Amino acid sequence: MAIASQLLKHKGRLIHSVAPDAPVLEAIRLMAEHGVGALLVMQGEQLLGVVSERDYARKVILKGRSSSETAVREIMSSPVLTVRAEQTVHDCMRIMSENRIRHLPVVDDKGVIGVLSIGDLVRAVVEEQQRTIADLEQYIHS
């Protein structure tokens, strides 16, 4: 069973973030630029929240707010659910499913070390199942 740190080693530990006082428009631009659906909201090394396209749609667009005049801190999701580097993919999937979230920061004693998306987790589970199938087929044919 793969753990969060193994997925980050394969995926990379690049963290896309935005400051809490930045305008939402800047956050949306950063998401588009990096091809991601969410950003961590960071004050220095401190994780304050997560802002996602869903937050934008529900808390800005649907409420008729201004993207350039609304601060990220006003729409971010907080407190943030996180996982430790040693937690399994299944733990991460359970947390995401139960809490209906799509992005999960991974932390260690020093702070945030990466972010896993639901796509990262699904990919890991599919790869694990494919390995199991290949092993079973090899066993059957030997």
The domain of 105 spans 4-141
Average confidence (pLDDT) over 5-17: 90
Inter-helix orientation angle 4-11/89-99, to 10°: 90
**Which of the four pLDDT bands, split at 50, 70 and 90, describes residue 10?**
confident
Domain count, the chain: 1
Please state, in angstroms and as integers, the Cα–Cα distance from residue 77 to each residue in 7, 8, 45, 74, following that order.
Answer: 24, 23, 17, 9
Contact 40, 47 (CB under 8 A): yes
Q: What is the CATH number of the domain that holds 52?
A: 3.10.580.10
**SS3 state at 103:** strand
* pLDDT at res. 124: 85
**Which of the four pLDDT bands, split at 50, 70 and 90, describes residue 133?**
confident
| pLDDT > 90 fraction of the chain, expressed in percent and rounded | 79
> Could you read off the pLDDT of 21-75 as tens digits, one per residue?
999 999 999 999 999 999 999 999 999 999 999 999 999 999 999 999 999 999 9
* pLDDT at res. 138: 83
- Checking if the pLDDT of 130 tops 80, the result is yes
> Could you read off the pLDDT of 79-93 as tens digits, one per residue?
999 999 999 999 999
Contact 55, 77 (CB under 8 A): yes
